[in-house]
Amino acid sequence: MSEAFRDLTERVGFLHKVESANRIGAGQLKISPRAITFEMPVDDTVASELGMPSFPSGDQEVEIPAKLIFRDRYGFIGLGRCRYRSSTSSTFGDRPGSLKLEAEYAVEIGSMEQDYWSVNGLRSEIGGLAAWAGLSSVVTPPPETDSRGLIIEVSQTAKARDPISIGTDFGLKLYPHFSTQHSSTNGVYTIIEKTFVQTQTPQTIPWEKHVRVHQMVQDLVVIARWTQCGLRVHSANNIDHPIVKISTGEPLGEKWRDAIATWGGRGDWSTPMTIESNRPALFRLADVGAPGLRRWIEEYDSWTRIVGPLVTSRFQKHLPVEALLMQIAVSIEGLGHRIGLMTGRISNPTSSLSFPQYLDLIYQSLNCQITPVIYGSPDNGISSFPDFATWADAFNTAYKEAKHADHPLPDHVRAWVLAESGALLLRLWLAQEFGVAPARLDQNARYSA
């Protein structure tokens, strides 16, 4: 595996077609989680190889091959989900213009013949997953000191636990490991706990099917930690094209191909990959267990109406409080309708109840304490509500004020507090549904809003 893949973010080389291996042209490849782009001069020959009838201009829609290969002196890179981004025409006679292409992912490959556009396995890292999963531990024995009390010897042992097999049709595993950093200038040594999300299937499948499962795990971590957390694709595997020893052709164990993608699940390249260490979680992996996480993956599609708006609210920047309130209300309505169908209150999927009735259905089926939901925010001048009915009435009023133009706008602080407490109500119900004990929720809820 070439270290240059991650170290060299800007490379100059040739672009090739996948099917024929024909060379398209030469240019510069830039790779980062923010953007993967290839820019090159374009003449009639290059345009023809890309399947362009003419040089593109302006906002013209242009179709190019979705799969391309980049080659330079360091090796080969497969580029996936490629598309035309922009072009610049020349104003100096016969000098060619330039063309910029972008790709959604890049993966190091061993030769032009290797197919990594469908893969057996994919690994990613999710911010905060290692701590949430609790699969790693660092042990620091008491340091040895001299007669003056100065530390003269210190040792740390970082021990990753065995991977947890979750199962599902995607062979989901949580795979703990460590990375280290050393600053020779400042003499600082850092051990970083990490946990891969790993999917592996018997047959190769498109990247999109793998990454969707990784996002499902990301969503559950967000519901537990209630903060945005980044997702970064790390490596990919195709069992038909393993990494091998150059001298013998023997596969090098379980080593996978390095990969970088601009896809970050709910977030993007700027979403943080770390979570504040003092930010408590509503629940952890041990509270739902492997069965709960497996059920989360297997049933995910049926929960998207509830989970989608709820989790997305953590990633949207500069979201007006009215939009936040409505987004949480959409999730509440989705959950209330689902409970209505489960309990028989709604006999037909096309039937509905009123929004206050949905709130009451959620409350009546919740087994943990409601106090954290109705606590208000005394520090922000919002007093605790005396009971759930009063809180529900306040939420419904604020929701109607945000939704209907013939109503006055809700007070921003009050609306924000109600939206956050409505989100907590949803998180408590989902956590309970997927196996978290009510006592655990009672213990953690007041600190994890």
Q: Compute the half-sphere exposure of residue 133: CA atoms within 13 Å on the CB side of its CA.
A: 29
Rounded Cα distance between 423 and 413, Å, is 15
């060619």: which residue's tokens? 96
**pLDDT, averaged across the chain:** 90
Token output for 18:
């996948």
Residue 420, amino acid: E
- For 161-200, what is each residue's pLDDT tens digit? 888 999 889 999 999 888 777 766 677 777 777 899 999 9
Which residues fall within 8 angstroms of residue 82, CB to CB, at 6 or more apart?
A: 64, 65, 66, 67, 68, 101, 102, 103, 104
Q: Which residue, 18, 116, 6, is CA-closest to 70?
A: 18
Which residues fall within 8 angstroms of residue 253, CB to CB, at 6 or more apart?
A: none
Token output for 128:
């905060």
Rounded Cα distance between 114 and 55, Å, is 31
Is-contact 181 192, C-beta < 8 A?
yes
Residue 331, H or E segment: helix 321-343
Q: Which residue, 203, 232, 192, is CA-closest to 215?
A: 232
Q: Where are the domains of the chain?
A: 4-109, 118-261, 299-447
Q: Compute the half-sphere exposure of residue 58: CA atoms within 13 Å on the CB side of its CA.
A: 2
For residues 308-321, give the mean pLDDT. 94
Residue 256 has pLDDT above 60, yes or no: yes
Residue 328, H or E segment: helix 321-343
Confidence of residue 430 (pLDDT cuts 50, 70, 90): very high
For residues 222-226, give the mean pLDDT. 96
What pLDDT, on the 0 to 100 scale, is given for residue 59?
63
């770390």: which residue's tokens? 274
What pLDDT, on the 0 to 100 scale, is given for residue 22?
92
Rounded Cα distance between 425 and 438, Å, is 13
pTM for the structure as a whole:
0.90
